Amino acid sequence: MPDADELVANALAAVRGTDVRQAERQLDQLMVGTGAADGATAVDAALLRRLVRGLTRLWPRGWQPVDLDRIAARRLDARATRLVRDAMAVQRREQAEPVPAWFDEQLRELTTERRADDENVLSGWSAREALDRVDALRTAVDVLTLVESLPPIAVLRPPPGSSGAATARSAGPARSGSPMLDRVRALLAKAESTTFPAEAEALTGKAQELIARHSIDEALLAAGSERGDVPGGVRLSTDTPYAGAKALLVQEVAAANRCEAVWSDDLGFATVLGWPADLVAVELLYTSLLVQATAAMLRGRAERRPGSGRRTKVWDESFLNAFALRIGERLRAATDAATDAADQATAETAGAERLLPVLAARGEAVRERLDTLFPGVTRHRLSVRDAEGWSSGTSAADRASLDVGGGRKPRQVPGRPDRR
């Protein structure tokens, strides 16, 4: 009989092939095990060892625990995702130092404190999920296939075990304990809960104004220090449905906060590059605006004319695209107003040391980071196929002024619906 490692390798090779019968035969071989009294235990240990090795190889290739958790949920299911989390906890206990604080923070958010014997991880997981032996082995092989098939992605932070891991900082300031961020969260929470669109958009505009002021303060502090920081990055989910519209919303929010965004459609996320305070702002705003956009879309869907003749999916996508573009324009207006006010105040107090050159330098650093991490990035043309959805989405984002101090009237969003 083959040993356990060979059985696992044969099962993986069969799953990756096109012969379904061969894959089932190899799964049967895993069920039989090595023929020894402890054959099932040996197979479980071999699966876990290979899974831990696969995870260890992913971290230097740009993957982070939250990224792996997201793509497991996207491509597999909740049970498989929980196995991934258990395996990450085992891998962490075997991970060579140094391990950056952000890595452990992500794991703590994903995993529980269960400290079962590492040799019994698979059996413990299958018992909790109430899976029989066949389904447990099939899921474990699917998880291992996914882990070993993931491509390299941009390395946004020094990974565990690298020379920069010991001094790596979080992508942004603390998620709690910042009075400004607490105020922003409170404003966005109110915007999500209100049933009045005008109030929601005004609250969001106020949140953007606070964020812009905070970003300017951070830029001035950094300009006066000797720290050699470089822009960082975060990844935001753009899962179906309407993944393209979600990616557009990420791009618009990122642009309003002096960041750059790149969409990886096949992996289900957008990467946002920028300075720490700006990245936290983008994440907060995107999460809130996605809730608001979905609520506005559902309200607009209910208000459609009977027999309008367009499929709901096409209308929804056009609505969300228009919403993202108009909201992005208005967020940028709030940022510009805050920047103009801060630049004037800086000029009065600091003489020749103006704010705008500082912001320009930081923007150039972000673009350089983009060119380094994504040298082959291309642009995607937006196609809108429902004029009614486009008009409704624009109106939903335009019912209240977001000019919280700028006083300028937003221009009409360019674009002509494609009536195919």
Give the pLDDT of residue 326. Answer: 87
CB count in 10 Å sphere of residue 193: 12
Average pLDDT estimate for 260-285: 93
Place of tokens 């090779």: 13
The answer to whether 238 touches 269, Cβ cutoff 8 Å, is yes
Average pLDDT estimate for 73-100: 95
Pick from 87, 76, 45: nearest CA to 138: 76
Give the pLDDT of residue 104. Answer: 95
Q: Phi and psi of 6, rounded to 5°?
A: -70, -40
Give the residue, 111 or 349, on which the prediction is more confident: 111
The answer to whether 257 touches 335, Cβ cutoff 8 Å, is yes
* Residues 87-118: tens digit of each pLDDT: 999 999 999 889 999 999 999 999 866 555 66
* Residues 370-399: tens digit of each pLDDT: 999 999 888 776 666 666 665 666 666 655
